[in-house]
Chains A and B, each alone.
Chain A
Amino acid sequence: MSQPKPQTVMPEPAVGLDAVSKCYRRGDEVVHVLDHFSFTVAPGEFVALMAPSGSGKSTLLNLIGGLDQPDEGHIEVAGTDLGELGESARTRWRARNIGFIFQLYYLIPVLSAQRNVELPLLLQPMSRAERAKRVEAALTLTGLPHERHHFRPPELSGGQQQRVAIARAIVTDPPLLLCDEPTGDLDRQAGDEILGLLKTLNERLHKTIVMVTHDPHAATYAQKLVHLEKGLVGELRTG
């Protein structure tokens, strides 16, 4: 009687792209940004996507975040096949599962830091007191000095604005953070602080992070580096 073989239970990937293709029209020309691209990110992983301009890294982020749809292939994020979701369902799914962080922060300039962070919570059935508690927690976690919580974005430095943007991204406690050049508009010191913060969120809160960057120094904060070249995975390094 043979012994049953021990089964290895593979954890479901946080992000899984299977033979994804995406092309754009630029006048009469068709530009293939991604061509049968496959890629996975394990839960709790911090992945940096590096690539030259125009090689599809932002497109990839948009596809993972459900902001855009592939021409071919399948995308599965946190066990959900995005192709099966309609527009409204994708919007609701995004609210629960994804936090976006952008290079230009995209904060609303006439609202205080607290109000900016509160925006995603307005969609949740939650009391004002509970919202305020969560906003404070998120801003404190990002290290924005308490006395600046009621400042408006133009009154904050670039690094502080990005902290507010990160607080806005994590305030609903999504499992996946998608960062598009989060330090691209910051000086080295502020950039390092933000990258350190992302690393902390990954290590302490187990957030899965996919970060697009063209800065090799920023990429060193990630556990895994994926190098994209003309829509193909050109290099893979595990840090």
Chain B
Amino acid sequence: MTTIFRFRPLISAALRRHRVRTILTMASVMIAFLLFGLLQALNHAFYGGVKTADRRALVTTSALSMIEPLPRADAAQIAAMRDVAQVAYEVWIGAYYQHQNQVLFAIAVSPKRFLAEHTRELALTEAQRKAWLGDRRGALIGNLVARTYHWKVGEIVPLRSNIWVHPNGTNTWPVKIEDIFHSKSRALEEGVFLHYRYWNGGLNKPNMIGAIRIEVDHFSELAAVAHRIDARFANSPYPTRTASARTFIKHFIDQTVDIGVIVQDILIAVFFTMLLVTANTLARSVRERSSEIAVLRTQGYSHQLIFALILTEALVVVLTGGIAGLLLATLLVQVLHTLLAEFLPTLALTLKSDLDGLGLMLAFAGLSALLPVFQVQRLRIVDALRGG
């Protein structure tokens, strides 16, 4: 079988015919994929935690709103339910460091449960665990956060809360950095974990919690357990809504801003426009070459071969522009990650995004080539030659 590689002079000729047009088309594709890369990175920054969440985990919050508290006693009731392996509770602190824009992912947790739940993810020694458990002002700080603010173990740092007032009447909560941990979980490395007991004193209604994290015995029991929990509290003053941890995280992000929809809408608009531009450019290029294509047909070039040549031409344009766009996006994301580490610590272009981009390029090239291929299909050699 004749390989398409043999016909590279023809493909090269088609691309060199109008160099500026080819370069501009490649540049347009590059910009589309640069945008794709940046938006994918942004998407990952927001939703990266969704995919890494434990498949066996459930999260229970108030059915009224995510910010409505639940009684801490509910956690004990849930722990006693069938098929429930572990239960932990937590409260969102709404904390920041010195300025409001230095937002921290800080939660107050039940320390024992938290450590039990994350035994594998947290690289802590027994002595470190004991030290944290023994100091209710102690905080476990994820490595990424500590690096961002140059915090050291043993330091007392003032955390401020938008929600909770300290018993001294201010919104500043001094916490001692008990340990800075490394973890394979990026979500944990971005976190600040505090004692629930310490923060409980600042709650308007003591012994209330924000969310209950439940680990079930088997993944297959997830839906049944969630249903049982919600049924148990349906007629209580604090009805619950229980969802998988993945759903919860996604829902939590979507409440702030539906990044997924925004990313999707922008990309659809960009790619649809780019598809029209690229397809039109290719179609125009083919139309200009109709007499040459007709001559190739007189020389024995089949329809299929001409289609393959046009498709290859489209692939060269789209892959060159697209790969350049993704490379540029990778560089930009690295720069942005350095600049925005405190706001978007998981900003990154993943391998999956690159592969998605590559798939998109192939589809893009295929769709762009459809119109020109249709033109060639309809091309009558004698008419094209008569047209000169």
A119: chain B residues within 8 A (beta carbon) = 9-10, 296, 299
Question: Whole-angstrom distance between the alpha carbons of A62 and B384 in the complex?
Answer: 12
* Binary B-proximity of A49-70 (CB < 8 A = 1, otherwise 0): 0000000001100100101100
B298: chain A residues within 8 A (beta carbon) = 65, 67, 94, 98, 100
Of the A-B pairs whose beta carbons lie under 8 Å apart in the complex, a sample of 29, sorted by A's number, is: A59-B382, A62-B382, A67-B297, A67-B382, A67-B385, A68-B381, A68-B382, A91-B297, A91-B303, A92-B300, A92-B302, A95-B299, A95-B300, A96-B300, A100-B299, A102-B295, A104-B291, A106-B292, A106-B295, A108-B13, A111-B9, A111-B13, A115-B13, A119-B10, A120-B300, A123-B2, A123-B299, A123-B301, A125-B2
Nearest-CB residue, chain B, relative to A114:
B9
- Nearest 5 pairs of A and B residues by beta carbon: A95-B300, A106-B295, A120-B299, A100-B298, A110-B13
A58: chain B residues within 8 A (beta carbon) = 382, 386
Is A88 in the interface zone, CB < 8 Å from B?
Answer: yes
* Binary A-proximity of B280-300 (CB < 8 A = 1, otherwise 0): 000000000001101111111
A-B contact count (CB 8 A): 73
Is A31 in the interface zone, CB < 8 Å from B?
Answer: no
* Binary A-proximity of B1-14 (CB < 8 A = 1, otherwise 0): 01000110110010
Distance to closest chain B CB from A201 (angstroms)? 18
A94, B13: Cβ atoms closer than 8 Å? no
Interface bin, chain B: 20 to 34
Distance to closest chain A CB from B133 (angstroms)? 76
A102: chain B residues within 8 A (beta carbon) = 295, 385
A67, B300: Cβ atoms closer than 8 Å? no
* Binary A-proximity of B367-388 (CB < 8 A = 1, otherwise 0): 0000000000000011001101
A122, B295: Cβ atoms closer than 8 Å? no
Question: Whole-angstrom distance between the alpha carbons of A104 and B294 in the complex?
Answer: 13
A123: chain B residues within 8 A (beta carbon) = 2, 299-301, 305
A45: chain B residues within 8 A (beta carbon) = none
Nearest-CB residue, chain A, relative to B300:
A95
Question: Whole-angstrom distance between the alpha carbons of A104 and B301 in the complex?
Answer: 20
B292, A108: Cβ atoms closer than 8 Å? yes
Question: Whole-angstrom distance between the alpha carbons of A102 and B294 in the complex?
Answer: 12
B381: chain A residues within 8 A (beta carbon) = 62, 67-68
Is A136 in the interface zone, CB < 8 Å from B?
Answer: no
Question: Whole-angstrom distance between the alpha carbons of A109 and B10 in the complex?
Answer: 11
B9, A118: Cβ atoms closer than 8 Å? yes
Question: Whole-angstrom distance between the alpha carbons of A214 and B385 in the complex?
Answer: 18
Is B113 in the interface zone, CB < 8 Å from A?
Answer: no
Distance to closest chain A CB from B299 (angstroms)? 4
A65: chain B residues within 8 A (beta carbon) = 298
Most buried by A among B10, B294, B299, B386: B299
Q: A88 and B13 in contact (CB under 8 A), knowing A100-B295, A102-B295?
A: no
Question: Whole-angstrom distance between the alpha carbons of A68 and B302 in the complex?
Answer: 15
Distance to closest chain A CB from B328 (angstroms)? 29
Q: Contacts A91-B301, A106-B292, A119-B10 given; 14 further ones with Cβ under 8 A?
A: A68-B381, A91-B303, A94-B299, A96-B300, A100-B299, A102-B385, A109-B17, A110-B17, A111-B9, A111-B10, A119-B296, A119-B299, A122-B10, A180-B385
B294: chain A residues within 8 A (beta carbon) = 106
- Give residues of chain B (167-198) contacting chain A, Cβ–Cβ below 8 Å: none
B385: chain A residues within 8 A (beta carbon) = 67, 102, 106, 180
- Give residues of chain A (36-95) contacting chain B, Cβ–Cβ below 8 Å: 58-59, 62, 65, 67-68, 87-88, 91-92, 94-95
Question: Whole-angstrom distance between the alpha carbons of A67 and B299 in the complex?
Answer: 11
Is B21 in the interface zone, CB < 8 Å from A?
Answer: no
B9: chain A residues within 8 A (beta carbon) = 111, 115, 118-119, 122
Distance to closest chain A CB from B17 (angstroms)? 5
Distance to closest chain B CB from A101 (angstroms)? 10
Q: Which of the residues B7, B10, B388 comes within 8 Å of A104, measured between beta carbons?
A: B388
B291: chain A residues within 8 A (beta carbon) = 104, 106
